[in-house]
Structure 1
């Protein structure tokens, strides 16, 4: 009899323990569900708060919807931003932004992407899916390379990547940008003139100043539509004769290089209106005669100086030839 009671008591204890375990598990599951629901609800409210904040930064200018953020803390852009895909322009400056989100490809209406003066180090390959993009402005960042997919932005007209100190190359595919007419590569780390630039058929304005270029390509005249070329603060020692065949060139800035001579063929550049040879170790010491008070602001190392230098070099060359004869 006693043994039966012991067995019965043991069974009750086991059943009780089993039910307590099940109740505990149910409570834990319920707690997880409640926590998940709270978390999801919190996420929804956070998204709403972020969207409200972003909506306050949207302006309408001449029918174009622009997201404008200036000097705010946006190291990353929230996924909730994809609910504003109707945006046509981003202007995000001095916000400490560290990357361009891959979901940028969902902004099919984007025409201008201006993310200058941030901390961006990489351009995502998804940017190549922005078929309407006309302007990409990424100066004063930390970009180290340009993805070849950017060449798929067939409507791109303006590209600025100045002051990205570790940027030293461009992918050859960029020559497929048939509408690109404005390119700023200044203050980077280019040692060689990018081949892709020579193949841009519509290029009119190029700034590649403040790099480490030692020479220009001999076929530089391929840029037949270029009217402005900034080359100051490089390490150029000579100029190719074919520079004289750049018949559309109107502005050529060559100050602060290592040029020792000016090619005589540049004398025939009929459209050249402004040129600057200041702060170069030119071989000949040539000075313009002082002008009148009304002429004091003329460029002492400009177009007039160039012509005088070429004439003086020719005169001295003829004199030396006559001496030998």
Structure 2
């Protein structure tokens, strides 16, 4: 019996030794595999960085990273070594996200990532205090972070054709230099308060949204000279629109307008309007042109049409005023 005990003890000891050896072997194998994967990752990043360096050009004194129709779903972290870049132009690359380290590119003036599949804007975007143009049209963005308001030098912002953006954070009214804003082809149902309070805004496109009315506070945009509102569901214009003294271009085609209000006669700086494809009540015939050149230049539903319509409407006596009652959050200053 003692021999059996000795034999069993020896077997158990041998088993324990082999289990330890196997465990150590597996751990060594795992570390080796992790090390190899790390080396592969480092190598791939170096290869990617080399490829990116080849895409860097100089134009008009700017250092630009330019990539078109090449697959770059992600950008390697080694890209931070090219922090001298002043402009990114990445189009149709399949890029799915803006890298979190974007804030380290303090020299960026233009960030153009249009026509990709980006779904989020990282909060680090707010670190780009020299950024003047941010172009993110034709992506899958749903929300805009309030940190974007820290981009104090921003002059141009394009978020067109993201489809699902329906609001902007109030903080964006702090973009004191923003003059150009494109929000077309999204899901806005009204002009956001942040936009109404942008002091320098000159050009605004909110075409192809879901606007049904314009706020009375639209007159706040005193610097605005161009307003695109085509392909919405606007049924009436507020009287305060006549206080926009700098407005020169107003596009209202493809809406639900039934009348052109009399007070639009007061908008003496208007140089171009478009009321095409609205269910207007009156049928208006413009007076004949005096020359062929005049006929070619005349827009059928343009400025002359507007004045003729208003005259006909005044004679018919069927003018209807339009005013809107909006939430306090829109009517309040700031």
TM over 0.5: yes
Query: What's the TM-score, normalizing by structure 2?
Result: 0.87
- Matches of 1:211 and 1:4 in 2, distance apart? 91
> Would you say the 8 A contact 2:49–2:76 is kept in 1?
no
- Matches of 1:31 and 1:277 in 2, distance apart? 73
Aligned partner of residue 305 in structure 1, secondary structure: helix
Alignment gaps of 5+ in structure 1: 319-325
Instruction: Give yes or no for the alignment of 1:180 onto 2:175.
Output: no
Aligned partner of residue 90 in structure 2, secondary structure: strand
**Relative contact order, higher structure (CA 8 A, sep 6+):** 2
Aligned residues: 316
**1:1-325 to 2 correspondences below 5 Å:** 24=22, 27-291=25-289, 292-297=291-296, 298-317=298-317
Kindly tell me: are residues 313 and 17 of structure 1, through their superposed partners in 2, closer, same or farther at Cα, counting changes over 3 Å? closer
> Which sits farther off after the overlay, 127-136 or 285-294?
285-294
- Matches of 1:259 and 1:21 in 2, distance apart? 83
- Matches of 2:248 and 2:181 in 1, distance apart? 16
- 1:41 Cα deviation from its structure 2 partner: 2.4
- Post-superposition Cα deviations, 1:48-69, rounded to whole Å, max 9, x if no partner, equal 1111111111111122111111
- Matches of 2:284 and 2:102 in 1, distance apart? 55
Aligned partner of residue 317 in structure 2, secondary structure: helix
- Matches of 2:225 and 2:278 in 1, distance apart? 23
Aligned partner of residue 221 in structure 1, secondary structure: helix
- Matches of 1:174 and 1:269 in 2, distance apart? 28
- 1:82 Cα deviation from its structure 2 partner: 2.0
RMSD: 2.3
- Post-superposition Cα deviations, 1:194-243, rounded to whole Å, max 9, x if no partner, equal 11111000000000011111111112111001000001111111111111
Q: Which runs of 4+ in 1 moved over 3 A?
A: 3-37
- Matches of 1:5 and 1:313 in 2, distance apart? 119
- 1:12 Cα deviation from its structure 2 partner: 7.9
- Matches of 1:208 and 1:6 in 2, distance apart? 90
- Matches of 1:167 and 1:8 in 2, distance apart? 78
> Would you say the 8 A contact 2:203–2:227 is kept in 1?
yes
Kindly tell me: are residues 9 and 57 of structure 1, through their superposed partners in 2, closer, same or farther at Cα, counting changes over 3 Å? same
> Which sits farther off after the overlay, 169-178 or 27-36?
27-36
Kindly tell me: are residues 17 and 289 of structure 1, through their superposed partners in 2, closer, same or farther at Cα, counting changes over 3 Å? same
> Which sits farther off after the overlay, 269-278 or 19-28?
19-28
- Matches of 1:85 and 1:37 in 2, distance apart? 28
Say which one has the larger Rg: 1
Query: What's the TM-score, normalizing by structure 1?
Result: 0.89
